[in-house]
Amino acid sequence: MAKSIKWLGHAAFVITTVEGKIIYVDPFIEGNPLCPITVDDIQAANLVLVTHDHFDHVGSAVDIAKKTGATLVAQPETSARLMSELGLPGECVPNFGQGMNIGATAVIDGISITMTQAFHSSQTASNAGFIIKLEDGFTIYHAGDTGIFATMKILSELYPIDLALLPIGSVWTMDPVQAAKALTLLNPKKAMPMHYKTFPILEMSADRFVKLAKKEAPGVKVIVPEPGQEIAL
C-alpha cells in the first residue's frame, strides 16, 4: 500500500502508512467549512493525535476513537477532560490512561510518536506538536498551533524531517513570514501549509508563504493541496 497524506482543512490531516495504518491529526471534521468528509465517512483509524484542547483541534477526535477503537494521544490533562466530559474510553488513552507529555515518545502499532513543544494557548494542559515516524522511517512534523521558536533547529537535528506541516494563518499562529523562516530551522525535504483560509480573519491564501519559502528555503519543496486531495509520500 502506498503511503499518503490528505489535508482535511485547517490543521486536520489523515495519514495512511505503507502498512495501511491510518492516523488522524487534529481532526476538526464537523464544523470545519473546508473539511470534505463527515465522521460517518470514517470507517477505520489506528491513531488520533490531538495537539491541544481547542475546539478546532480536538474536533471529532473522541467520536473517531469511540467509533474505531483508535488510540488517542494527547497531554494528560486534556486526556482526562476528554474522558470525564466527552466519554473517551480509558483504554483508548496510552500509558494506562495517562496520555503523554512534551519530550516523550511512544511507539504505537509500529509508529513512533514524539510530542514536542509549541507556543500557543489551550483550554487544558499546553499546546504541543508531534514528530510522527512511520514504519518505513518517513518522518512528519505537525507543528500544532505555534509561533516560530529557535528550538525547531534542535528538533531537525534529532529527527530529520521529510515533511513539515506548518501553520501560516496568523491571528492564532505563525504568519507566512515566520513560517517561511521556520523552514530554515527545520530543514525539511517538503512542507505543507495549514491553519489558513478556514475563517475570514485568517490568511486566506498560501501564496505569500510559497513566495517567501522560495526565498528563505529554496531547497524545500512546498506542496499546497486542496482540502481532500490525497498526496503520495
| Residues making up the chain, counted from first to last | 233
CB 6 within 8 A of CB 231: yes
- Look at residue 1 in the predicted model and tell me its pLDDT: 60
CATH top class, domain 4-232: alpha beta
Coil/strand/helix, residue 111: strand
pTM value is: 0.98
H-type alpha helices, 46-168: 55-58, 61-68, 76-86, 94-97, 152-158
Residue 158's Cβ-count burial label (10 Å; 0-12, 13-18, 19+) is: exposed
Q: How many CA atoms lie within 13 A of 187 on its CB side?
A: 11
> Which residues of the chain carry a pLDDT beneath 70?
1
Q: Kindly report, residue by residue over 13-49, the tens digit of the pLDDT.
A: 999 999 999 999 999 999 999 999 999 999 999 999 9
